[in-house]
Amino acid sequence: MAQASTIGFRFERSLSRAPARVGSRDTSSARLRAPARRPVPRSLGGEKRGNAVRISASSGASESSPFRMIVLRHSDSCTQDADLRDHDRPLTSWGRTAAAKLCSELVAKGWAEPDLVLCSASTRSRETLGEMVRTHAPLGKAETHFMGSLYAFAAMDGLTADHLRETVAGLVEREGGRDNRVRTVMVIGHNKGWEEAATDFAGQTVKLRVANAALLEFAGEGAGTWAEAFNQNAWRLTGVAKHGLREPEKECETEFGGDGDGPMPMPA
């Protein structure tokens, strides 16, 4: 199996890399591992089929657990290289610390071991997840997909929530009978789409700064699958997890405005 390196962690490719395009389902898929100098998380156990990993009955989720979503915005990023694409902007040193602190907050709240992770393919999103795995290695056990579409849809007005509904339900149900084993899903990506999606799910305004995560729990009745839960759209906001650090002075300024909160036709 071919291997590729990135800052902070290694990937095992299960698909050939394909160019990202709007509407694409999954541009790359991988199982995340902790760095070699740390304990390597155990795999979920199961077999690969296509571009997904079938989760075995040994997964920690149970049918009695509620459906839960973690809508997590990547940590702080910027670059001094004006030629660097927005997609390739790395985390700042403060951003790496903030990602680790956010992960510790998720651990304290009991939300740090999702069964499925969908992560934007952008560098800042991948590095946010990498810092979190280094902080809490069990996070690396989750079935993880790196998706160009999460980057693209986050920049479009009002489309992110529907894309997340379709993508989560499609991945979970692809092989059937897995809803009882995938109860918590973490999605890592960008504003403005992430705030819009969290607000849509929660039915109230949700603000997500960098390295913040909206914690959502299904509060409806009778939903046996993710698709049914999404159809009811009855989600309760249990809180917004934050890194708890003082906001930094910018280490660098770019045409994209540092962490990307300015008005621009690209995800922040």
pLDDT of residue 180: 86
Residue with tokens 């993508």: 167
pLDDT of residue 179: 86
pLDDT in tens, 71-117: 999 999 976 667 789 999 999 999 999 999 999 999 999 999 999 99
pLDDT in tens, 31-41: 443 333 333 23
Instruction: Please give the Cα distance from 116 to 86 (Å, whole number).
Output: 26
Instruction: Please give the Cα distance from 80 to 103 (Å, whole number).
Output: 27
Confidence of residue 25 (pLDDT cuts 50, 70, 90): very low
Run of H or E residues at 229: helix 226-232
Instruction: Please give the Cα distance from 214 to 208 (Å, whole number).
Output: 7
Res. 24: pLDDT tops 60: no
| Alpha-helix residue ranges (DSSP H) falling in 74-206 | 93-109, 123-135, 148-153, 160-173, 193-202
Residue with tokens 């979970």: 172
Q: How far is CA 87 from the centre of its chain?
A: 15
pLDDT in tens, 207-255: 999 999 999 999 999 999 999 999 999 999 999 999 999 987 765 533 3
Q: Contact, 121 vs 94, CB < 8 A? A: no
pLDDT in tens, 129-138: 999 999 999 9
**Dihedral over alpha carbons 184, 149, 165, 208 (to 10 degrees):** 70
CATH class for the domain made up of 65-261: alpha beta
Q: Using N-to-C axis directions, what is the helix angle for 123-135 and 93-109, rounded to 10°? A: 50
pLDDT of residue 80: 67
Distance set, CA 30 to CA 63, 140, 158, 164, 242 (Å):
26, 11, 28, 19, 27
What percent of the chain is predicted at pLDDT more than 90?
61
Buried b (16+ CB within 10 A) or exposed e, 196-226: bbbbbbbeeebebbbbbbbbbbbeeeebebb
- Most confident residue range from 13-17, 61-65, 226-230, 261-265: 226-230
**pTM listed for this prediction:** 0.75
pLDDT of residue 62: 56
Res. 26: pLDDT tops 60: no
Dihedral sign computed on CA atoms, order 145, 148, 153, 155: positive
Dihedral sign computed on CA atoms, order 185, 47, 173, 60: negative
pLDDT of residue 237: 98
Q: Quick one: which of 129, 6, 127, 81 has its CA closest to 256?
A: 81
pLDDT in tens, 147-189: 999 999 999 999 999 999 999 999 998 867 788 899 999 999 9
